[in-house]
C-alpha cells in the first residue's frame, strides 16, 4: 500500500466522508483517525444503509466507508441505491479477509464500489494500528481527490440532525496537491512488431477495469498469454481470477511457481507474492517470490514488467490501468527500453489516475485511451501477429 498521500484539500474544502457501520467501536476508531487530518471531514456517521440514504439527501458527501453486514439495510443493498442517488459518489466497502468477504467485495466492485478496505478486527487494529491507518487515509485521499476534481460534485448544504459530526477547529490550511501536477501527455510510436505476451498492472478501480477489458477482449479474440498484477491481498486474488473467468471466458487463475506460461491463459499475481517470468530453455516460467515490497506493494507491477521485458524483449504489450501511486512506471520504462509497447487508461475513465497518469506523463506510452477503447486497440495490434 502506498504511503499516506500529502494533504490534498484546503481546510475550507476538505474531503467529506460518511461512515456507515453498525459497530460503534469501528466507527469510533475510524473517527479518531480521520479527525486528526485537517483535509478530511466526517460529515455523517450512521449505523445502517437506510440511514445512509436518508443522510445523503441532506448532506453532501465525497467518500462513503460502507460496511457490508448491517441490520435494517446491508451494504450490498444500499450500494446501488447510494450510487443512484449520487452517481459520482466514491464508496469504499469494508470487508473481512475471508473467502466470503473477498467474494462479496468483488461483487460490490462489479456493482460500482470504488474500492474496499479490510475491516479492522484485531486488537492492535482496533487500537489504531499504523497499517490500517495508512491504507484508510491513502484510499480516502486518492478517491476524495478524484471526486473533488469531478464535474458532478454536489455543493455543500448545511448538515443537520444527529448524523452530522462536528468538526474540530482547523490547525491550518494545507495546500492543494494534484496527483500529477504536470498533465502533459507525450505519445511515442508503438512497436512495429506484434507481441507475444500481454502484461497488465492495476490497483484502485482495477477489478472493475479488468472485468470490462477482458470481458470485451474475450478468450479467443487474442491468443497471447496475459499476466496481471493487481494490488490485492491473499484470498482476494483467487476470487478475482474466478470472476475474470466468469465474465471473460478466459482460463484465469493465480500464477503458480514453476509453471510454464502458455497461450490463451490469464495469470494473476497471488496476494503477498511478486510474480515474475524467467526463461528456461525455450520456455517462459512463472516464478513467485517474497522479495521486499516495491512501491510499498507486494505484489508489485514493476518487478513483473522488468522480468517480462527481459524474457520477451520487444514483443511485449503492457497496459497500465487505474490505480493510485506510480507502480508500473519503472517497469514500463524497462519495457520501452527493450522495444516493447506501453499503453494506459485515460484520466476520465480511471477511478484514480495515479499509475496510468505516471506512465502517460512520463512519455513512455504509445496510446492513452478510455477504458472501452483499450481492448479494441490491443486486438487490432494482436491481429498483426
- Identify the active-site residue in 95, 138, 231, 350: 231
CB 139 within 8 A of CB 15: no
DSSP bridge pairs for 342: 318
238-270 burial, b at 16+ Cβ within 10 Å, e below that, comes to: bbbbebbbebbebebbbbeeeeebeeebbbbbb
Helical ranges in 217-367 per DSSP H:
236-248, 301-312, 329-337, 355-360
Q: 115 with 141: CB under 8 angstroms? A: no
> CA–CA separation, 317 vs 337, rounded Å?
13
Q: How many helices (H) and strands (E) does the chain have?
A: 12, 14
In angstroms, rounded to a whole number, what is the distance separating the alpha carbons of residues 13 and 17?
12
Catalytically annotated residue among 203, 300, 307, 326:
203
d(CA 178, CA 304): 28
Indicate if 23 belongs to the active site. Answer: no
186 phi, psi to nearest 5 deg: -115, 120
Q: Nearest Cα to 262, choosing from 283, 243, 278?
A: 283
Which residue's C-alpha cell is 445502517?
48
Tell me if residue 274 is catalytic.
Answer: no
Could you say which DSSP state residue 222 is in? B
The yes-or-no answer on residue 327 being catalytic is yes
Task: Please say whether the beta carbons of 48 and 163 come within 8 A.
Answer: no
- Three-state DSSP class for residue 163: coil
Catalytic residue among 39, 62, 327, 346: 327
Backbone angles phi, psi at 137, to 5 degrees: -70, -40
Centroid of chain to Cα 93: 13
Tell how strand 274-280 and strand 265-268 pair up: unpaired
Residue 189: Cβ within 10 Å count: 7
What residues are labeled active site? 203, 231, 327
Amino acid at each position: 500500500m502506498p504511503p499516506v498521500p500529502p494533504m490534498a484539500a484546503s481546510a475550507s474544502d476538505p474531503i467529506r466522508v460518511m461512515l456507515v457501520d453498525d459497530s460503534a467501536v469501528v466507527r469510533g476508531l475510524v473517527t479518531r483517525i480521520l479527525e486528526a487530518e485537517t483535509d478530511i471531514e466526517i460529515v455523517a456517521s450512521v449505523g445502517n444503509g437506510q440511514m445512509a440514504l436518508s443522510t445523503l439527501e441532506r448532506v453532501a458527501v465525497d467518500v462513503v466507508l460502507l460496511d457490508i453486514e448491517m441490520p435494517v439495510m446491508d451494504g450490498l443493498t444500499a450500494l446501488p441505491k447510494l450510487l443512484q442517488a449520487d452517481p459520482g459518489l466514491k464508496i469504499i466497502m469494508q470487508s473481512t479477509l475471508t473467502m466470503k468477504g473477498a467474494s462479496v467485495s468483488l461483487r460490490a466492485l462489479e456493482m460500482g464500489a470504488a474500492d474496499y478496505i479490510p475491516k479492522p478486527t484485531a486488537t492492535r487494529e482496533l487500537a489504531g494500528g499504523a497499517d490500517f491507518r495508512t491504507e484508510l487515509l491513502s484510499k480516502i485521499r486518492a478517491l476524495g481527490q478524484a471526486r473533488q476534481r469531478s464535474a458532478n460534485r454536489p455543493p455543500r448544504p448545511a448538515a443537520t440532525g444527529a448524523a452530522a459530526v462536528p468538526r474540530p477547529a482547523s490547525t491550518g490550511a494545507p495546500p492543494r496537491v494534484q496527483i500529477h501536477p504536470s498533465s502533459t501527455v507525450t505519445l511515442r510510436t508503438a512497436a512495429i512488431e506484434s507481441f507475444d505476451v500481454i502484461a497488465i498492472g492495476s490497483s484502485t478501480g482495477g477489478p472493475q477495469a479488468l472485468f470490462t477489458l477482458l470481458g470485451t477482449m474475450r478468450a479467443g479474440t487474442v491468443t497471447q498469454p496475459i499476466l496481471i498484477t493487481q494490488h490485492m491481498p491473499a484470498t482476494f486474488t483467487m476470487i478475482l481470477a474466478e470472476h475474470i473467468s466468469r465474465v471473460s471466458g478466459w482460463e484465469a487463475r493465480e500464477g503458480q511457481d514453476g509453471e510454464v506460461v502458455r497461450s490463451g491463459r490469464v495469470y494473476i499475481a497471488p496476494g503477498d507474492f511478486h510474480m515474475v517470468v524467467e526463461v528456461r530453455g525455450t520456455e517462459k516460467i512463472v516464478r513467485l517470490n517474497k522479495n521486499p515490497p516495491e512501491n510499498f506493494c507486494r505484489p508489485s507491477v514493476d518487478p513483473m514488467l522488468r522480468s517480462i521485458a527481459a524474457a520477451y524483449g520487444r514483443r511485449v504489450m503492457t497496459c497500465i490501468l487505474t490505480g493510485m501511486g506510480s507502480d508500473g512506471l519503472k517497469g514500463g520504462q524497462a519495457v520501452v527500453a527493450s522495444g516493447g509497447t506501453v499503453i494506459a487508461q485515460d484520466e476520465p475513465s480511471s477511478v484514480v489516475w495515479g499509475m496510468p497518469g505516471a506512465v502517460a506523463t512520463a512519455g513512455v506510452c504509445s496510446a492513452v485511451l478510455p477504458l472501452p477503447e483499450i481492448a479494441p486497440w490491443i486486438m487490432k495490434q494482436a491481429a498483426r501477429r
